[in-house]
Each structure stands twice: as C-alpha cells, then as structure tokens.
Structure 1
Amino acid sequence: MRKSPFKIEICVEGTDGLIAAQNAGADRVELCASLIEGGLTPSLGVVREALQVATIPFHVIIRPRGGDFLYSEVEFNSMLADIAALREMGNVAGVVIGCLTSDGRIDEERTAALVAAARPMAVTCHRAFDMTAEYRAALEALIACGVDRVLTSGQRDTAIEGSEILKDCMAIADGRIVIMACGGLDADTIAQVRRETGVDEMHFAALKTLKSGMTFRNPHVGMGGTAIEREYEVTVTDTEAVRATIAAARGAL
C-alpha cells in the first residue's frame, strides 16, 4: 500500500498548547486536558475555542478518567456521547480512543462502536495498545475495527527501548494502519528512533513548568490533595523544544 507522508503530532493541554505547537511547525495536535494523568477529554468549550484558533488539524482524546482502560457501561456511554458532540461540531479532524478487556485484549466490540460513531473523523488508538497482552493480536484487532492509526512506544517506557517492537509493528501493519511512535522523544532521541524503526508518524509532548502569576498564596490549602507548591505552577508546551525536536526528526533521513 502507498505510504502516507511522514507527520509529527504534538500532545498538548488546551488551546494555548495548540497554538504553541502549530507555531513551532507541528503537523497535527492531540488535544487533551490533564496531561499529568496522561491526558483526559477536554471540555467542549476548549474544543470550540480550538476550532477558532487552529491552523492545523487536531484530534481530541476521548478518555473519561485516568487509570486503566477497562470502562464501565456508564463510562463507555459517556465516550459515545463525547464523540457525538464532536462530530456535530463538524470540523474536528479526529478522535483518540482505547478500550481493553480485563485480560489485556483490545475490546473489539466497543472499539468498533466508537469507530462507527466517530466517522467521518479519523480514529487513533492511544497507548492502551501498549498495555495489551499480545501486541500482534492487538494490532490485527485494531485493523479489523477500522482504526486509522495506533500510538505506541513499542510496549516499553520509551520508543528507544521499544524500537524492535515498533519495527515489527511496521512490518505487520504493511500500510493497513499508521504506526505513530511515542515515548521519551526529544531533540536528542527522535532521530535515532525514526532511523531505526521507519515509523509512519511520531508523537511527543514538550512541556515546561512556569511559576504561577499569583501574588497571594494561601499556605494552608492544597487543592485536590496535591502538594501546595503545585497550586502555583503552570505546565505549558515549550515552543522552542517542539521546534528543535521536529527539526531533529525531519533531519534524520
């Protein structure tokens, strides 16, 4: 099958992150809330604002909570409802999903239902794939469900550690599904991973922590059980780090 053009996707939190990523040369964005939990579904207000400011396509993660990818019926219904709301907006390019069974397989029934609900939007399976018991079977299951791409670090903490599995996934996919590598990618590692694996696309977050602009600080309250210091920090996408990592990736071949 014909190979699609190489693309780089940046994982961001909110519209400010989207603007930073597109200014730095990203091809696409994964739009999330709460990256501290690995990314949760952003509010519809955030998505509507993103549609106003975006100059590149963005995909919205559909993940109702942190933790595992074994969802209750109520949680699954909320995923369908979020997808329906995004589809009705008309200009959202894609969604990012992932549902597993308790024994570590792709939940094919639910995945197929989410794909059907999302069309004509593109559908990516996120790193739930990396939590499956057998990646070859998981990849075939995603293909059978009509998923367009899979985000994976090769079932390891980093793409460098998972490079052999990433290469194997490329061979198994054979153009039937896009393999998008992630995991510890930055300006120092991304070129090596691209050369060693030949993946179709690459995905990373480039974050930095800024001090809050708050001048009044209550020393007695930590919201949500977090350390008090966290209340006065803001995590943002680092435009220069995104730009440098994209340059390293594009110069790899």
Structure 2
Amino acid sequence: MTTQRPDQGIWPFNCGDVPARAPGRAPAVTPTQPASRVPSASRAAAPNGYRPKAGRVRVVAAILAGAAVGAGITNWTTSPSAQNPTMPHPTEAAEDLFDQRQASVNRSQIPTQQLAEFAAPWLARIGNCTSNTASTGQQPGDGEQTRTRCTAGIVTVYWISYRNLADRDAAHARYVAQAARSQDLAPGMQPPTPTTTGHTAQLRVEYAYRVPTGTHTGQTVAALWWSDPAQPVAGVLTAYWTDGLGSSWGPLRDLWHPSS
C-alpha cells in the first residue's frame, strides 16, 4: 500500500520593519507688523462756537468701535480659510485596487485557467504563489497534474489540478480515510460531507496528521481539502494545529469561506 505524502505546513514569513514616516514641518508664520498710528485729525471748529460735550464724544466713539469689531469677527468666522478643509474620501473602486492587483499577481502563477477560476475567490487574500514548474521543490503527488503553493500568514495553501476526475476521486477517498484516522489529533473536526458554498456544491474534507520528519517532527498539522464535484481541481489549506491555529478549526474555516 502506497503511503500518500502529506501536504506540509510552513511557518509564516517574517515581515520587515516599516520605517515610520516623519511628520511634515508646519510652514513658518510670518510675523505681522504692528499697525502704524494714525495721527488724530485736528479738531474742526463747530459753527457758532458750539463744542460737543466730552461725554457724548466718548459714547459715539465706543458705539462705532464696537460696530467695527463685530463686523471683523463676522468676516473672520465666515471666511472660507478659517474652516477646516474636508479630506476627500477614497472611492470604492480605489479601495479595491490592492485586492485586484494581488489577485492578478497570484493568478499569473496558476498554470491552468480552470484551476485559476476555481481559486479566484481566494486570490486576493493570499500571496507568494509559486507553481511546481518553478524551482520550488514542490512536485505533484499521485494523480496530480499541477500543484501551486501559496501562503496566507499562518496558513499554507495548495491549488491542485488532477489528470482527470478519477484521480481527483481517488485523492478524495485518501483524505476521507485520513480524516477517520486523525479525529484525536485535532478535536472538533467536521465529518467529510458535500458542502454548499453560495450556489456551488463542493466536496470538503477536514483531516490532520503529524509531521513525520524534519524540524517540526511530531507536530500536528490541520488541513482542509475541497473540490468542485464537476472538475478535477482542488484546494488544500494547512496550518500547525497548536502554534498556528491555537488548537481551533475556526481560523482555517474562516479563510476557506470565500465570503468571509
């Protein structure tokens, strides 16, 4: 009996530090020159020798000064330059530009159109995709025609095209058998049953295995395999059960659900 080589999870890549952006300098404020004093005009002689009383002069001057100050405050508060500028909000199309570009780059690494269309709902959420045609060390398994490996933080994603539906069904049977043997490795595993996502029926299997050799020997990996019943294609999500998923199927299922 041939032992199927399990898909292997990876540790997440390290992200480099992003330098903080230096704040801009505020423009220097030009000091204002004090207003020059306007010399008082000579007091004109009133006709018939009449002179207004000092008290009346002070009252009239105070009223005029108050009116001038009020007019200045009104002009200042209604001036457009005194209002805070409104920052433009990005349009919905602009917010989608990163997702569109991310999906486009990932799509270019998937070797067949059929597999790329199957993977399309997830391509904006993953990265670092490399196909088995490159020098990645990832070779197709039994019955597989192509295999593309991507990452999503703590999760490793595989996109697989099989030679035909019979090879896909054989792979499905192997994963179902592995799920029956690994119930105790990752508690909470759902039984392998056909699943409907939106309007598309899908075969879906959750399973687990222990890493047989290497640096992470003995660690448990949780995996989720799914396929379109009518096409020889499949996707696989794998992650370390304890260190990656925190001993919960929730994060893996959340990534699998294309509408999340």
* TM-score when normalising by structure 2: 0.22
| Higher relative contact order structure (alpha carbons within 8 Å, sequence separation ≥ 6) | 1
Larger Rg: 2
Q: Which has a greater percent of helix?
A: 1
TM score, norm. by length of structure 1: 0.22
